[in-house]
A and B are shown apart, each in its own frame.
Chain A
Amino acid sequence: MSIGQLARGRTPAPARRAAAHDPLLIAAALVLVAVIGIALLGPLRSPYDPDQLYAGAVSAPPSLAHPFGTDDLGRDVLSRVLAGARPSIAGPVIVVAVSTMLGVAVAVASAWFGGAVDGIASRLVDVIFAIPGLVLAVLAVAMFGKGLLAPVVALSIAYMPIVVRLVRAGARAELGRPYIAALRIQGVGSLAICFRHLLPALLPTILAQATVGFGYAMLDIAAISFLGLGAQPPASDWGVMIAGGQPALLTGAPEQSMFPAALIVLTVLAVNIVGARTTTWAEAKDR
Chain B
Amino acid sequence: MTTTVLEIDGLSVATPDGRTLVHDCTLAVSAGESLGLVGESGSGKTLSTRAVAGLLPAGFTTGGTIRLAGHDLASLPGAELRELRATRMGMAFQTPRAHLNPLRTIGDFMTEALVALAGEAPEAAYRRAVDLLAEVGIRDPDRRMRQRPGELSGGLLQRVMIAATLAMDPPLLLADEITTALDVTTQEEVMAVIADLRRHRDLALLFITHDLALAGAVCDRVAVMQAGRTVETLAAATMREDAREPYTRRLLSASLPDEAAGIRQARRSDTVLEVAGLRKAYQVRAAGRGRGREELLAVDNVSFALAAGGALGIVGESGSGKSTTARMICGLETADGGTVTVKHEDWTAPARSAPARRARARVVQMVFQDPYQSLDPRQTVRSCLAEAVAVHRRIASRAEIAARVDALLDAVRLAPALAGSRPRALSGGQRQRVAIARALAADPEILVLDEAVSALDVTTQVEILTLLDSIRRETGVALLMISHDLTTVRRLCDHVAVMQAGRIVEQGPIADVLDAPRSDYTRTLLDSIPRPGWTPQRRLPARIVTSGGTR
Footprint of B on A, CB under 8 Å?
A: 1-4, 6-7, 9, 177-179, 181-190, 192, 196-197, 200-201, 285-287
Residues B409-458 near A (CB distance < 8 A): 424, 435, 438-439, 441-442
Contact call B361/A185, Cβ cutoff below 8 A: yes
Determine the residue in chain A with the shortest Cβ distance to B389: A186
B47 to A: closest C-beta gap in Å: 7
B345 to A: closest C-beta gap in Å: 16
Contact code string B515-551 (vs A, CB < 8 Å = 1, else 0): 0000000000000000000000000000000000000
Contact call B46/A2, Cβ cutoff below 8 A: yes
Residues of A within 8 Å of B360, CB to CB, are 187
Contact call A182/B435, Cβ cutoff below 8 A: yes
Segment at the A interface, from B100-108, B135-143, B371-379: B371-379
Segment at the A interface, from B144-152, B233-241, B362-370: B362-370
A177 to B: closest C-beta gap in Å: 6
Separation of A9 and B422 alpha carbons in the complex (Å): 13
- Known contacts: A178-B373, A184-B357, A185-B366. The answer to whether A286 contacts B21 by CB under 8 A is no
Residues of A within 8 Å of B57, CB to CB, are 3-4, 6-7
- Does B32 touch A at the CB level, under 8 Å? no
Separation of A189 and B352 alpha carbons in the complex (Å): 11
Q: Which of B42, B50, B332 has a CB less than 8 Å from the CB of A181?
A: B332
Contact call B358/A187, Cβ cutoff below 8 A: yes
Separation of A6 and B47 alpha carbons in the complex (Å): 11
Contact call A184/B332, Cβ cutoff below 8 A: yes
Contact call A187/B391, Cβ cutoff below 8 A: yes
Contact call B368/A6, Cβ cutoff below 8 A: no
Query: How many residues on the B side are at the interface (Cβ–Cβ under 8 A)?
Result: 44
Separation of A159 and B187 alpha carbons in the complex (Å): 52
**30 A/B residue pairs, CB under 8 Å, sorted by A:** A2-B46, A3-B46, A3-B47, A3-B50, A6-B15, A178-B374, A179-B375, A181-B332, A181-B374, A182-B368, A182-B375, A182-B438, A184-B331, A184-B332, A185-B364, A186-B365, A186-B441, A186-B442, A187-B360, A187-B361, A187-B362, A187-B391, A187-B392, A188-B388, A189-B391, A190-B354, A196-B387, A197-B378, A286-B377, A286-B378
Q: Which of A179, A185, A192, A197 has a CB less than 8 Å from the CB of B330?
A: A185
A280 to B: closest C-beta gap in Å: 16
Contact call B378/A178, Cβ cutoff below 8 A: no
Residues of B within 8 Å of A201, CB to CB, are 376, 378
Separation of A190 and B352 alpha carbons in the complex (Å): 10
Q: Which of A7, A177, A178, A187 has a CB less than 8 Å from the CB of B442?
A: A187
- Does B41 touch A at the CB level, under 8 Å? yes
Residues of B within 8 Å of A190, CB to CB, are 354
Separation of A200 and B360 alpha carbons in the complex (Å): 27
Separation of A182 and B392 alpha carbons in the complex (Å): 15
Determine the residue in chain A with the shortest Cβ distance to B378: A200
Residues of A within 8 Å of B391, CB to CB, are 186-189, 192
Separation of A153 and B58 alpha carbons in the complex (Å): 49
Contact call A178/B370, Cβ cutoff below 8 A: yes
Determine the residue in chain A with the shortest Cβ distance to B374: A178
Contact code string B102-129 (vs A, CB < 8 Å = 1, else 0): 0000000000000000000000000000
Contact code string B49-74 (vs A, CB < 8 Å = 1, else 0): 01000001110000000000000000
Separation of A182 and B367 alpha carbons in the complex (Å): 8
Separation of A3 and B41 alpha carbons in the complex (Å): 11
Contact call A185/B46, Cβ cutoff below 8 A: no
A147 to B: closest C-beta gap in Å: 43
Residues B274-318 near A (CB distance < 8 A): none
Contact code string B253-287 (vs A, CB < 8 Å = 1, else 0): 00000000000000000000000000000000000
Separation of A187 and B392 alpha carbons in the complex (Å): 8
Q: Which of A6, A185, A188, A287 has a CB less than 8 Å from the CB of B331?
A: A185
Contact call B387/A178, Cβ cutoff below 8 A: no
- Known contacts: A3-B47, A287-B377. The answer to whether A187 contacts B354 by CB under 8 A is yes
Contact code string B384-407 (vs A, CB < 8 Å = 1, else 0): 000110011000000000000000
